[in-house]
Structure 1
Amino acid sequence: MLKARIPVALEGYPFILLAGFATLVVAILGLFLPALLLLALTLFIVYFFRDPERVAPREEDVLVAPADGKVIRVERVFDERFVKEHVYKVSIFMNIFNVHVNRIPFPGRVEQIIYMPGSFYSADSERGALKNEACALVLASERGHRMAVVQVAGLVARRIVCWAEPGDQLARGQRFGLIRFGSRVDLYLPLSTQLEVTEGRKVKAGETVLGYLS
């Protein structure tokens, strides 16, 4: 049974408290319209940092989405930065209305965490994918599959949060980080993956099946 928890990411608390405090001060001063606008902003911040429970599929080979959002790219590429081999690349774009907590797509051990400072181009562009600030987890499964899960900052996103550490053994659907205010997550998958997802599909982190690792 899942334990009861507050469905809001801890990283959102400072923003929520600051916006709530500003709302209270403005309301006490009797400024009705500004207080109403600040209240709407506070509620939006709470909504943005929501962190609902998700139940991952239990099939042994299933691969789930690492992020909520829309699949904007599915292609075969040579990845020279992370796993250094030919892979399938699946890109998921998160707008400001999506849940921004990211989850592990497949059980595995964290081999490496690679942080790359960079720019803040639009997250749904290829220039953004290559040049924006990013944080990559390189995972290895018990059967030797290697993949990379890459958090990419966007035009508005200015903070990537990654809770995982090298050596961690992570479960499918487990939370590993978040990105603040719009971004994308790229998956670099072995060519042995049987993909079940196409461009344009909307997915949910930890629940939507992207494919199967044979």
Structure 2
Amino acid sequence: MKLHKEGNLFIGGAFILLVIVYWLTRSYASIATFSLLILTTLLFFLIIYFFRKPNRIYHKVADGILSPCDGKVVVIEEVEETEFFHEKRIQISVFMSPLNVHINWHPIAGKVLYAVHHPGKFYKAWLPKASKDNEHATVVTERKDGIQILYRQIAGAMARRIVTYAKSHDKVGQGEELGFIKFGSRMDVFVPLNADIQVKLGEKVKGLQSILAVVK
């Protein structure tokens, strides 16, 4: 199993802590130190699991908007998008639990027109106000045919760090890595009103393998 580079510091820190607790258990054996060793070991393997990097096999879909992350669809609604388009769009939101893979990918290929990070609060990621009030990073990419899609990484109550690799004027491929959100989060995708939505509320989706919508 491969591990994502964003987890190096966390995994290294957890390993050092595990070694220290193991040494304490060997030197001062007791129920308390043994229990602490068990908890530290569990924490170490949970962190490794969280930062796993699966070998995700997928097929590029020219007209398709691929899911940019793993998780559960919690919002499908028509909204007024006020950050970039200033017009009505269909918002599709995917909530990622702490057990989901937290790598994020570009749902389409094209040129990045807009990439901005916004500081903010850390409300629970599934709440509607999290989309605007929480710390988030917004990316807008334009396909060769002129279709523009906005997608947003949103921090949650546990996720306190958003990593975004995209920059304005970058050319990105569908399925290329966008970034990483650490410890529970959400992604919003804003598609045109004429998009053919391919998912339903409550549906579990997989990044790069599930198609959220088709826009021709």
TM-score of the two chains, using structure 2 as the length reference? 0.93
What SS does the corresponding residue of 1:39 show, helix, strand or coil? helix
* Structure 1: distance between partners of 2:117 and 2:24: 45
* Structure 2: distance between partners of 1:165 and 1:36: 43
Which aligned pairs between 1:123-142 and structure 2 lie closer than 5 A? Answer: 123-142=125-144
* Structure 1: distance between partners of 2:170 and 2:152: 16
Q: CA offsets, 1:116-141, max 9 Å, x none?
A: 11111111001212210110001111
Is residue 69–residue 98 contact of structure 1 (8 Å, CA) maintained in 2?
Answer: yes
Aligned-pair distance for 1:23?
0.6
Which aligned pairs between 1:34-183 and structure 2 lie closer than 5 A? Answer: 34-183=36-185
The alignment of Structure 1 onto Structure 2 pairs a total of residues equal to 209
Residue equivalent to 1:24? 19
Identity percentage of aligned residues: 34
Aligned-pair distance for 1:82?
2.2
Q: AA paired with 1:70?
A: K
Q: Where does structure 1 differ by over 6 angstroms across 4 or more consecutive aligned residues?
A: none
Greater Cα offset, 78-87 or 192-201: 78-87
Is residue 24–residue 35 contact of structure 1 (8 Å, CA) maintained in 2?
Answer: no
Aligned-pair distance for 1:164?
1.2
What SS does the corresponding residue of 1:29 show, helix, strand or coil? helix
What SS does the corresponding residue of 1:126 show, helix, strand or coil? coil
* Structure 2: distance between partners of 1:111 and 1:77: 21
In structure 2, list runs of 5 or more residues that go unmatched.
Answer: 26-32
In structure 1, list runs of 5 or more residues that go unmatched.
Answer: 1-5
Is residue 174–residue 206 contact of structure 1 (8 Å, CA) maintained in 2?
Answer: no
TM-score of the two chains, using structure 1 as the length reference? 0.94
Q: AA paired with 1:28?
A: W
